[in-house]
Amino acid sequence: MSGMQVIKPGPLTLLQDLGRQGWQHLGVSPAGPMDGQAARWANRLVGNPVTAPLLEIALGGAEFEIQADTWLALTGAPLDARLDGESLPPWSCFPVHAGARLRLGFAQAGQRAYLAAAGGGFQASPTLGSVASNRREGLGGADGRGGPLVAGQVLACAKVRGLHERRCGPAWRFVPDYRQSPTLRVIFGGDAEAFGMAQQEAFCAQPWRLSPQSDRMGIRLGGATPLVPPRRQWSLGVVTGAIQVPPDGQPIVLMADRQTMGGYPLLGFVHPLDLGRLAQCPAHHEVRFAPVELTEAQADWRRFLAFFGG
């Protein structure tokens, strides 16, 4: 087997695809990339299907030895990326040759970078129809048990030549500036009516800071004025992007490795196109929220899926 050997895995590098669909009724989380937009761009740049497996590299600090001539794409958080010492631009697609070394420094902004290989992505045996890593549930990943990459592992990928005439990347208008404090769109729903209009307005009126206790399961937010959640006596199914409000009034945005059921009241849902931007915010980073109508969010999502082919 040849492709790419892990020399340094970095703090947390996971094999992901678009997630494990069709199993939530059995309590299985979908997993998948935290920043779905950056992941889709990485696969698009090397001509892969949108579902092709790729690497999610948290914070950077990784190193790989190339074992097969192919093309790679790197998107997401900008890193000091170097191929045999030559600097690589962010959000780019580039050829690599057997014996080359790819070194990724630590993120200069954002939290997660995505590395895709041409020819269908990195190969691994699927678990419940997906290779997406979920460490909490022990599913997927290069080892089949949800684990992160470790030094010495070899990720198989196809030999690909002549993909492009030169290096390429998306138009810069598609590349987010992870240094900025974003305003994220929220679709009020779920238990929003029980919260009341005053609490909805309070949620959008103040900045919220990301807690260091945030992870792939949920982004915890802290605000100067906590919300006052209504009481709920039963659990309901939840989705990625749902905004739970526990009794302390500090919201939690459910992310890729979320649970499938939850008992905390739901204030609403983060616009699916803004979840990736939230996933790139570091601890203590400030975000704000603004309301968006459901019909507008649905139209945005349809255009996004059409652009990336579903």
Q: How far apart are CA 280 and CA 191, in angstroms?
A: 27
Query: Hey, is 209 helix, strand or coil?
Result: strand
The answer to whether the CB of 270 falls within 8 A of the CB of 221 is: no
Considering the domain architecture, whether residues 128 and 188 belong to the same structural domain is answered as no
Q: Positive or negative CA dihedral for 163, 38, 150, 51?
A: negative
pLDDT attached to residue 154:
95
Number of domains in the chain: 2
Provide the token pair at 199.
């609490």
Q: Is the pLDDT of residue 167 over 70?
A: no
Range of the domain at 22: 3-174
Considering the domain architecture, whether residues 270 and 138 belong to the same structural domain is answered as no
Looking at 141, 174, 207, which one is the last position of a domain? 174
Considering the domain architecture, whether residues 227 and 139 belong to the same structural domain is answered as no
Considering the domain architecture, whether residues 196 and 165 belong to the same structural domain is answered as no
Considering the domain architecture, whether residues 149 and 20 belong to the same structural domain is answered as yes
Q: Is the pLDDT of residue 171 over 90?
A: no
Q: Is the pLDDT of residue 309 over 90?
A: no
For 86-128, give the secondary structure using H, E and C.
EECCCCEEEEECCCCEEEEEECCCCCEEEEEECCCCCECCCEC
Say how many Å lie between the first and final Cα of the chain, rounded.
31
Considering the domain architecture, whether residues 101 and 52 belong to the same structural domain is answered as yes
Considering the domain architecture, whether residues 15 and 156 belong to the same structural domain is answered as yes
Q: Is the pLDDT of residue 41 over 90?
A: yes
Q: How far apart are CA 73 and CA 163, in angstroms?
A: 12
CATH of the domain at 205: 2.40.100.10
Taking only the tens place, the pLDDT of each residue in 82-128 is: 999 999 999 999 999 999 999 999 999 999 999 999 999 999 999 99
Q: Residues with Cβ < 8 Å from 251, sequence gap 6 or more?
A: 203, 208, 220, 221, 223, 227, 243, 244, 245, 267
In this prediction, residues 258-284 reach a mean pLDDT of 96
Looking at 174, 207, 234, which one is the last position of a domain? 174
Considering the domain architecture, whether residues 108 and 85 belong to the same structural domain is answered as yes
At 20, is the pLDDT very low, low, confident or very high (cuts 50, 70, 90)? Answer: very high
The answer to whether the CB of 243 falls within 8 A of the CB of 278 is: no
Taking only the tens place, the pLDDT of each residue in 174-198 is: 889 999 999 999 999 999 999 999 9
Q: How far apart are CA 50 and CA 305, in angstroms?
A: 10
In this prediction, residues 13-31 reach a mean pLDDT of 95
User: What residues are paired with 117 via a beta bridge?
Assistant: 72
Q: Is the pLDDT of residue 232 over 90?
A: no
Looking at 174, 208, 234, which one is the last position of a domain? 174
Considering the domain architecture, whether residues 139 and 195 belong to the same structural domain is answered as no
**Alpha carbon of 79 to those of 4, 7, 57, 174, 252: distances in Å?**
19, 17, 10, 18, 28
Burial environment of residue 225 by CB neighbours within 10 A (0 to 12, 13 to 18, 19 or more): exposed
Pairing of strands 154-156, 3-8: antiparallel
pLDDT attached to residue 203:
98
Considering the domain architecture, whether residues 70 and 90 belong to the same structural domain is answered as yes
Considering the domain architecture, whether residues 163 and 257 belong to the same structural domain is answered as no
Considering the domain architecture, whether residues 37 and 88 belong to the same structural domain is answered as yes
User: What residues are paired with 40 via a beta bridge?
Assistant: none
Q: Is the pLDDT of residue 220 over 60?
A: yes
